[in-house]
């Protein structure tokens, strides 16, 4: 197996390292089902195909693609998968993908246009996929965006954390439909899971899971405090909320 393309990070779990700003892609290989977690950019799909070949597989062998959220660096390869492969995402992410919501998909950040997305399965909190050797559970973790999920694999105690949390407390930012308070709540819930290995969407894998989550929470709590200062400054500005409300009130004066 070529470690520059793909490597086994836990029993039956393989990591395809992201290239050219694409997110990492993961393969969960069971006796009954083969699942892909995220699909990278459309421009890195050939790397995915080469990595699968190292396992003696092709895209035709993938039964299900789990998209952790709708951003193009995670979801962009999904339309290139064969029709026999089911594509799954949280219902909030699925809606944005199906409608090709340019603001939500972050296409322009990568100077790419998305193909037509067809989401076959809408996931919810607690959805479980069984590959034969792995039970994969969906955790809805809004914050980075509204439809973000993490995926927990029970037998190896592995958390696929996408952009929700990475090594050393790096968070993926609050984008589009996300918000800080939901993000903090999501990380607090992730902290309660018995995770031994964190497999993020970007960067290095992590075994110091709890300290990384705690650092992410602190980072977001700091961002929350900073945002309050911004709103307080706006309140005292001629262009703040009071002036906006006053101008709207004046529109109703006859």
pLDDT single digits (tens) 140-186: 999 999 999 999 999 999 999 999 999 999 999 999 899 999 999 99
3-state secondary structure of 86: strand
Locus of tokens 């984008």:
175
Sign of the C-alpha dihedral computed for residues 36, 155, 164 and 88 taken in this order: positive
Specify whether the CB–CB gap between 67 and 95 falls below 8 A.
no
- Assigned domain for 73 exists: yes
Output the six-digit token pair for 17: 């390292």
- Assigned domain for 1 exists: no
CATH of the domain at 172: 3.60.15.10
Measure the CA dihedral 99/100/106/109, to 10°.
Answer: -160
- Assigned domain for 16 exists: yes
pLDDT at 240: 61
Listing DSSP states for 104-125 in one string gives HHTTGGGT---------EEE-T
pLDDT at 243: 58
Longest dimension (CA), the chain: 76
Query: What confidence tens digit (pLDDT) does each residue in 94-137 have?
Result: 999 988 887 777 766 666 776 678 899 999 999 999 999 999 99
Residue percentage of the chain with pLDDT more than 70: 87
User: In terms of residue numbers, what domain contains 116?
Assistant: 6-251
- Assigned domain for 141 exists: yes
Query: How many domains in the chain?
Result: 1
User: From edge to edge, which strands make up the β-sheet containing 34-37?
Assistant: 6-10, 13-16, 25-29, 34-37, 64-67, 86-90, 121-123
């Amino acid at each position: 197996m070529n470690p520059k393309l793909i490597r086994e990070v836990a029993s039956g779990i393989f990591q395809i390292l992201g290239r050219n700003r694409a997110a990492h892609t993961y393969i969960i290989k069971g006796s009954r089902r083969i699942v892909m977690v995220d699909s990278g950019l459309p421009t890195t799909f050939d790397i995915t195909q080469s990595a699968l070949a190292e396992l003696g597989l092709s895209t035709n062998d993938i039964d299900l693609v789990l998209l952790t959220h709708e951003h193009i660096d995670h979801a962009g390869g999904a339309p290139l998968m064969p029709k026999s492969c089911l594509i799954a995402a949280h219902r909030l992410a699925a809606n944005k993908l199906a409608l090709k919501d340019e603001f939500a998909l972050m296409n322009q950040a990568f100077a790419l246009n998305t193909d037509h997305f067809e989401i076959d399965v809408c996931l919810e909190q607690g959805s479980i996929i069984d590959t034969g050797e792995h039970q994969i559970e969906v955790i809805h973790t809004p914050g980075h965006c509204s439809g973000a999920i993490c995926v927990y694999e029970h037998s190896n105690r592995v958390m696929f954390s996408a952009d929700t949390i990475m090594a050393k407390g790096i968070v993926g930012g609050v984008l589009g439909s996300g918000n800080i308070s939901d993000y903090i709540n999501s990380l607090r819930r992730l902290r309660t899971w018995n995770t031994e290995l964190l497999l993020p969407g970007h960067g290095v894998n992590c075994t110091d899971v709890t300290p990384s989550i705690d650092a992410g929470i602190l980072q977001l709590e700091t961002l929350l405090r900073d945002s309050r200062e911004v709103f307080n400054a706006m309140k005292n500005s001629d262009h703040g909320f009071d002036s906006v409300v006053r101008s709207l009130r004046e529109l109703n004066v006859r």
